[in-house]
């Protein structure tokens, strides 16, 4: 008998309903993709907070916003992070992408053989053993490796392997200038991570023909889960993201 892995529920209103068997298989690596301001960071802080509520240990790695800004961002949505930080369930930590690129460089020259890099010292604090990791964002890390794309790829492979072997459910933010999965041409710039990831969640800025704007979300893929594949309406409210799993977009619109 095959036993289904336990499922992680984001508890983001409406989101989990897009997955028929109830949630994201634990241990999955999920890309959270979208254009500027599409809600990627809020998606992550909200699920991070909700995971703590469920007693999970969460590491939030920020490459973009300083810790204090993230905390106040969370507070604005009514997420009391302090409580979970004190309990040791939540660790918000800011990283410098250039430091990571430099350490990888150093490890590679020390190891001589590129496959020998050990990701642990470079990224995940040793003393914290998280169930969930959010990385905001891979794009920031990628830009620190500019001109060294093969190194970035090695680093990504190691990172995915590490997360998998430690059974960590991870949410990895990726900024996209345009939706990469829509249209005739598939474009991925130097970050072949779509194939490494178990799941892809796309957040969209929507522009309607009449000039109005809206937001939408789609689960593009999720290994080991039966997903509802459609682009549905989403809002950002004072309490965070809200997904409308039964409302598809109407009229003429463009996704950006």
| 169 touches, from Mg ion, ligand ATP, none (C-beta below 5 to 8 Å by class) | none
C-alpha R_g of the chain: 18
Residue 158 contacts Mg ion per CB under 5 A: no
Interface pattern 106-135 for Mg ion (x via CB under 5 A): ------------------------------
Residue 42 contacts ligand ATP per CB under 6 A: yes
Contact region for ligand ATP (CB under 6 A) — 36-44, 55-63, 149-157, 194-202? 36-44
**Least Å from the CB of residue 175 to Mg ion:** 8
Residue 41 contacts ligand ATP per CB under 6 A: yes
**Least Å from the CB of residue 105 to ligand ATP:** 26
Separation of alpha carbons 61 and 97, rounded Å: 11
**Least Å from the CB of residue 40 to Mg ion:** 5
Separation of alpha carbons 67 and 64, rounded Å: 9
**Least Å from the CB of residue 121 to ligand ATP:** 27
Q: What is the sign of the dihedral through the CA atoms of 172, 131, 66 and 118?
A: negative
Separation of alpha carbons 212 and 166, rounded Å: 44
In the complex with ligand ATP, the residue whose CB is nearer, 67 or 157, is 67
| Residues that contact ligand ATP, how many (by CB under 6 A) | 12
Q: Which residues contact 91 (CB under 8 A, 6 or more apart)?
A: 58, 59, 60, 85, 125, 128, 130
Looking up tokens 């990172």 gives 159
| 191 touches, from Mg ion, ligand ATP, none (C-beta below 5 to 8 Å by class) | none
Q: Which helix (H) or strand (E) holds 85?
A: helix 81-87
Separation of alpha carbons 185 and 149, rounded Å: 21
Rule CB under 5 A: which of 35-54 touch Mg ion? 41
| 13 touches, from Mg ion, ligand ATP, none (C-beta below 5 to 8 Å by class) | none
Query: Applying CB under 6 A, which residues contact ligand ATP?
Result: 34, 36-42, 175, 236-238
Q: Which residues form the interface with Mg ion (CB under 5 A)?
A: 41
């Amino acid at each position: 008998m095959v036993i289904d892995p336990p499922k992680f529920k984001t508890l983001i209103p409406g989101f989990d309903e897009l997955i028929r068997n109830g949630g994201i298989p634990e241990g999955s690596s999920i890309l959270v993709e979208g254009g500027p301001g599409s809600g990627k960071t809020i998606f992550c802080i909200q699920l991070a907070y909700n995971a703590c509520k469920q007693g999970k240990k969460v590491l939030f790695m920020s490459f973009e916003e300083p810790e204090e800004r993230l905390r106040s961002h969370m507070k604005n949505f009514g997420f009391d992070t302090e409580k979970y930080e004190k309990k040791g369930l939540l660790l918000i930590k800011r990283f410098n992408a250039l430091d990571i690129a430099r350490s990888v460089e150093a490890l590679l020259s020390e190891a001589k053989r590129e496959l020998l890099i050990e990701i642990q010292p470079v990224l995940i604090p040793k003393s914290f053993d998280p169930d969930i990791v959010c990385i905001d964002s891979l794009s920031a890390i990628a830009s620190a490796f500019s001109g060294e794309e093969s190194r970035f790829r090695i680093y990504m492979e190691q990172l995915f392997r590490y997360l998998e072997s430690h059974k960590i459910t991870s949410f990895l933010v990726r900024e996209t200038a345009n939706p990469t999965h829509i249209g005739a041409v598939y474009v991925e710039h130097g970050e072949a991570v779509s194939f490494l990831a178990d799941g892809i969640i796309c957040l969209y800025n929507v522009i309607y023909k009449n000039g109005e704007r809206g937001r939408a979300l789609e689960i593009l893929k999720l290994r080991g889960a039966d997903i509802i594949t459609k682009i549905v309406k989403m809002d950002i409210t004072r309490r965070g993201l809200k997904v409308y799993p039964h409302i598809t977009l109407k009229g003429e619109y463009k996704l950006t």
